Structure 1
Amino acid sequence: MNVGSVERFGADELLAGLRDVRLRGFPDVAPYAEAELSIESVDPETLAPPQRYVLRDGVRTMHDLRAALAPHGLDPLALSGGGAYVTIDGDRIPVIPPIVEESHEPDGRTVDVVADGLHRVYAARALGLPITVIVARGLPREHPYYALALPDGWAGVAELDELPDGFQKKTYRNPDNYKSLFRQYNAVFPGVQQQRKRSNPDHLKA
Structure 2
Amino acid sequence: MIVCAASNNAGKLKELRRILERMGHEVKSLRELGINLDPEETGTTFAENARIKAEAFCKASGLPTVADDSGLCTDALHGAPGVYSARYAGHHGDDDANNAKLLRELTDVPEEQRGAKFVSAVCFMLPNGRALEVEGECPGRIAFTLQNGDYGFGYDPLFIPDEYGAPDGKRPNTERRSYAQLTPDEKDAISHRGRAMEKLEAELPAFLG
Band of TM-score, shorter chain: under 0.3
- Relative to total residues, which structure has the larger helix share, 1 or 2? 2
- Structure with the bigger RCO (C-alpha within 8 Å, sep 6+) is 1
Normalised by the length of structure 1, the TM-score is: 0.26
Normalised by the length of structure 2, the TM-score is: 0.25
